[in-house]
Amino acid sequence: MDPGVYILGAGPGDPELITIKAKRVLARADVIIYADSLVNPAILSYAKKSCEIHKSSSLSLEEIEDLILRKVKEGKLIARLHSGDPSLYGAIREQISLLEKGGITYEIIPGVSSIFAAAAALKRELTVPELSQTVIITRIAGRTPVPEDLAALASHRAAMVLFLSVSNINKVVEKLVSGGYAEDTPVAVVYRASWADEKIVRGTLSNIVLLVKKSGIKKQALIMVGSWLVSDAIDGRVTRSKLYDSTFSHEYRNAREKPFE
Ligand code: SAH
């Protein structure tokens, strides 16, 4: 049986990067409330003709709650569409608590986060053996406070991806360098990953502020930091995964060769 509300990940922008499950829900929904700033309106073509569509950017949380309560009482199936995956900077926690307080059942369907669309656009793996096996997903403090200290996070020199921070890229770079990344650490800024107007700006911590300023990118972008951005072919390092290494045995395969001395 359907819950009262589906919270759906719409994916990063390309209307084909939505899950089959979310698409099926959209086709049946009576009401869709969508985050219009980052959800591609083309996705709404999956909705049925009679579906009522609301943009969430012009509504307060209370207004969204009122709308949902009203529609649930009318027996309508509601889909709340979030950009990327709802669990990353989706502000769903407060919605969830309102639904739970109201005794409204809900289900969350995950989506492809922009972090993965950006990695795909860059044609890179975020977790490169011997470079970094850790991805730090964070943001700079804006109106929303950030409990963790960015400079302390930088001290790991892991792969780092910053959401909601491109308008403050100068502050980001300052913190990252003071925290421990070298000035020549590669950085890529990916604007509207998977959209038709996607843009990539590549540089290092020493010049990315200027490059981003020149590009005019002020929002809807991810800042991606770390040596994982450099391809093997360029830096010549041996960073092969053990999984496909012929000297490495695992559950599905025995080693064929002796490891190099
Ligand atoms: N839940 C979303 C993130 C929402 S917060 C996700 O999983 O992707 C909004 C921020 O996400 C933006 O400010 C930007 O930093 C990032 N973002 C969302 N979609 C993007 C895209 N297609 N390309 C680059 N960054 C994107």
In order of their start, the domains of the chain are 5-109 (3.40.1010.10), 114-237 (3.30.950.10)
pLDDT at 61: 81
pLDDT at 242: 64
C-alpha torsion 15→19→24→27, nearest 10 = -20
- Distance from Cα 23 to the centre of ligand 1, integer Å: 20
Q: Are 229 and 135 in contact (CB under 8 A)?
A: no
Within 2-113, where are the H helices? Answer: 20-28, 61-73, 92-101
- Distance from Cα 200 to the centre of ligand 1, integer Å: 14
Ligand 1 pocket, residue 40 CB under 6 Å: no
Ligand 1 pocket, residue 161 CB under 6 Å: no
For residues 175 and 165, give the distance between their C-alpha atoms in angstroms, rounded to a whole number.
Answer: 12
Tokens of 211: 């490059």
Ligand 1 pocket, residue 88 CB under 6 Å: yes
For residues 137 and 191, give the distance between their C-alpha atoms in angstroms, rounded to a whole number.
Answer: 17
Contacts of 82 by beta carbon, 8 Å cutoff, 6+ apart = 7, 8, 9, 10, 35, 39, 90, 92, 111
Ligand 1 pocket, residue 81 CB under 6 Å: no
Contacts of 225 by beta carbon, 8 Å cutoff, 6+ apart = 159, 160, 161, 162, 176, 181, 185, 186, 187, 205
For residues 116 and 139, give the distance between their C-alpha atoms in angstroms, rounded to a whole number.
Answer: 16
Contacts of 132 by beta carbon, 8 Å cutoff, 6+ apart = 157, 158, 159, 226, 227, 228
Quick: pLDDT tens for 39-62: 999 999 999 999 999 998 888 888
- Distance from Cα 140 to the centre of ligand 1, integer Å: 14
Ligand 1 pocket, residue 248 CB under 6 Å: no
Residue 166 alpha carbon, nearest atom of ligand 1: 15
Ligand 1 pocket, residue 113 CB under 6 Å: yes
Nearest to 198 by CA among 118, 103, 98: 118
Residue 190 alpha carbon, nearest atom of ligand 1: 24
Ligand 1 pocket, residue 34 CB under 6 Å: no
Ligand 1 pocket, residue 192 CB under 6 Å: yes
- Distance from Cα 213 to the centre of ligand 1, integer Å: 19
Q: How far is CA 212 from the centre of its chain?
A: 20
- Between the two ends of the chain, the Cα-to-Cα distance in Å is 60
- Distance from Cα 83 to the centre of ligand 1, integer Å: 7
Q: Which residues of the chain have pLDDT under 70?
A: 232-249, 254-261
Residue 163 alpha carbon, nearest atom of ligand 1: 15
pLDDT at 16: 97
CA dist 160 → 58, 89, 95, 173 (Å): 32, 16, 28, 12
pLDDT at 35: 86
